[in-house]
Amino acid sequence: MPQTAPYGSWKSPITTDLIVSGFIGLVQLALDGEDVYWIEMRPSEGGRMVVVKRTPDGDTADVTPDPFSARTRVHEYGGGAMLVHDGVVFFSNFADQRMYRQDPGGQPEPITPEADLRYADGCFDVGRGRIICVREDHTGDGEPANAIVAVDAQGQAEQQVLFQGSDFCSNPRISPDGSQLCWLTWDHPNMPWDGTELRVAPINGQGLLGDVKTVAGGVAESIFQPEWSPDGVLHFVSDRSGWWNLWRLEEREAVQLTNREAEFGKPQWVFGSGTYSLASEDVVACSYVSDGVWNIGMLDIKSKNLFPVQTPFSEMGRGDIKAGDGNIVFLAGASDRPMTVVSLDLASGRWEELRKSHNLEVDAAYLSQARPVEFPTEDGKTAHALFYPPKNGDYQGPTGEKPPLLVKSHGGPTGSASSALDLGIQYWTSRGFGVLDVNYGGSTGYGREYRERLNGTWGIVDVDDCCNAALHLVAQGEADEDRLAIDGGSAGGYTTLAALTFKDVFKAGASYYGVSDLEALAKETHKFESRYLDGLVGPYPERQDLYQERAPIRHTQGLSCPLILFQGLEDQIVPPNQAEMMFDAVRNKGIPTAYIPFEGEQHGFRRAENIKRALEAELYFYSRVFGFDLAEPVEQVDIENLSAE
């Protein structure tokens, strides 16, 4: 029989040591013949990004040696740091941002100069022995310049600039016969999920581009992931129907291949990820999200019939998919499965897990299953969330006591909550917390109209939805209204701070590298997001009034509950002064508060010791302000003004 103990005080086998010792991040897939490659982010190695290769016989080995780290800083968020061709691995190295070539059995050798240049999202030009990729040039004054360039695969010839002139570019892809190049462009103030243009140009005898034509897209149409089929037909994802669906060009005319209220695309925060892959001239392997659940299907191009592929996976929002010879390889997870590299044989339907983000075996008695929740919000609308109730087979709560609830606000804010098994969430639920991961208006996965709910209303719609989600669970009897907490990172940190400042629903909160001053963010952030707030708030400085009106740092008189802040001191996206200003303001008000900075961390924590410290510190903070005992001691946090509570 489970023993009775207050919520929050349950002893759990899901410890921070367990989480950080076994966890790796999985990003970017590549197929090279029958070999599968991926990149692992390893907290135990200080967050190093390692290229890993798996051969058909099951042998798995690291490719990139220590201290190399395959991570690019183009757009700061990176992605698309690896390219493989005939066993040769090309990658961007984090420390110097140079591109390296690593031949089988050899050591990495640089093929780009020592300069303040960054590279990402490459494809291999076989006939010309070069890599065509995005280059971000930080050598001049003002904003860095983005261009598509050709880099000699041996590192001997000078780089050629193939395209420049747009604020941003991505996805350069060469046609199978080497005669054409396609790519995406967009300009300020658009983000790639707002509007992009798909461009195509012939490649001439000097390897340069001929006449450039825009074949799809515009300022109000988001194009995602252009790809050539083996017979040279250009495919892409477009949201011109209101949903990201698959299209292709036939004699310069766009033909829709899928027509569903489902998303076959996702926001392009990073380079190099995809939702589909051409298995042949006539078949597309694709992933798509419908009603918050990701699916895999095989699309017959001629009939336009989409045949579902049965797997136990329901989350691919952070993943990728590649079609091989008779198989597909993809990154996916589920509520009972972590993100995993999976290979699926199309003939037999058998699937194999090649690599899990963790191999930890946790008894199901300690794992809470995500439950989709729809709840009413402002203006008669409905919003979405994933709810994880408290679960621990060894414990139950006291009769009549409702559990504390931790509401999570995802980053972006153009993003979505993941339903894959996350031991960071299970850390809370196995100790007696409910967790509510909110897909507030503005989230992806529900069509363009839902995504555009946040246009001009950041700090309003997201805050209302997080508050209404929490109150919905209170009304359902599943949460204690006096112990509602909210946390989030980056944009989710802003939503957290705004909810604590402008609303009186939550009783505590935690901001991870969150935005407190919108004006400062508009003035100081990096190029990729420097005009993002034009759409979310309004043009700056023309609407300075809105920036001041919605900035938590300017309205701390409305904040009356405890707050803990976490910040990487090398963060270039949300600089440390954002957290420091908020900490000083809350401390000066006499409200319990704490600030934990991390040396060497950027936007998001990658080191095992810091991931562990942040989780334990947040739990400790809530235990003090909500008044429950911890089952096991953790390192204490210096909480200012706690005696005043």
Q: CA end-to-end span of the chain, whole Å?
A: 37
603 vs 637, more confident: 637
| The architecture CATH gives domain 365-644 | 3-Layer(aba) Sandwich (3.40)
The predicted-structure confidence for 150-173, as pLDDT tens digits, reads as follows 999 999 999 999 999 999 999 999
What band does 291 get if pLDDT is binned at 50, 70 and 90? Answer: confident
The predicted-structure confidence for 419-457, as pLDDT tens digits, reads as follows 999 999 999 999 999 999 999 999 999 999 999 999 999
User: Considering the chain, what percentage of its residues have pLDDT values greater than 90?
Assistant: 91
**3-state secondary structure string across 105-118:** CCCCEECCCCCCEE
What band does 360 get if pLDDT is binned at 50, 70 and 90? Answer: confident
Q: What pLDDT, on a 0 to 100 scale, did the predictor assign at position 361?
A: 82
What value does the mean pLDDT take over residues 204-209? Answer: 97
Q: Which of 356, 420, 411 lies closest to 388 in space, CA to CA? A: 420
Q: What pLDDT, on a 0 to 100 scale, did the predictor assign at position 175?
A: 98
The predicted-structure confidence for 451-483, as pLDDT tens digits, reads as follows 999 999 999 999 999 999 999 999 999 999 999
Identify whether the C-beta of residue 581 lies closer than 8 Å to the C-beta of residue 553.
yes
In terms of C-beta density within 10 A (0-12 exposed, 13-18 middle, 19 or more buried), how is residue 470 classed? buried
Q: Which of 49, 60, 55, 5 lies closest to 24 in space, CA to CA? A: 49
What band does 598 get if pLDDT is binned at 50, 70 and 90? Answer: very high
Q: Which residue's entry shows tokens 């759990």?
A: 12
CA-angle at 112, arms to 110 and 115, nearest 5°: 115
CA-angle at 32, arms to 29 and 34, nearest 5°: 100
What value does the mean pLDDT take over residues 187-197? Answer: 97
What band does 193 get if pLDDT is binned at 50, 70 and 90? Answer: very high
Whether the model clears a pTM of 0.85, i.e. scores above it, the answer is: yes
What band does 318 get if pLDDT is binned at 50, 70 and 90? Answer: confident
3-state SS class at 463 = helix
In terms of C-beta density within 10 A (0-12 exposed, 13-18 middle, 19 or more buried), how is residue 383 classed? buried
Both tokens of 52, joined, read 């890993």
Instruction: Compute the mean pLDDT over every residue in the chain, rounded to the nearest whole number.
Output: 95
| pLDDT > 80? residue 644 | no
CA-angle at 94, arms to 88 and 99, nearest 5°: 40
Rounded-to-integer distance, Cα 167 and Cα 146, Å: 6
Q: What pLDDT, on a 0 to 100 scale, did the predictor assign at position 252?
A: 84
| pLDDT > 50? residue 645 | no
22 vs 398, more confident: 398
What band does 643 get if pLDDT is binned at 50, 70 and 90? Answer: confident
What band does 21 get if pLDDT is binned at 50, 70 and 90? Answer: confident
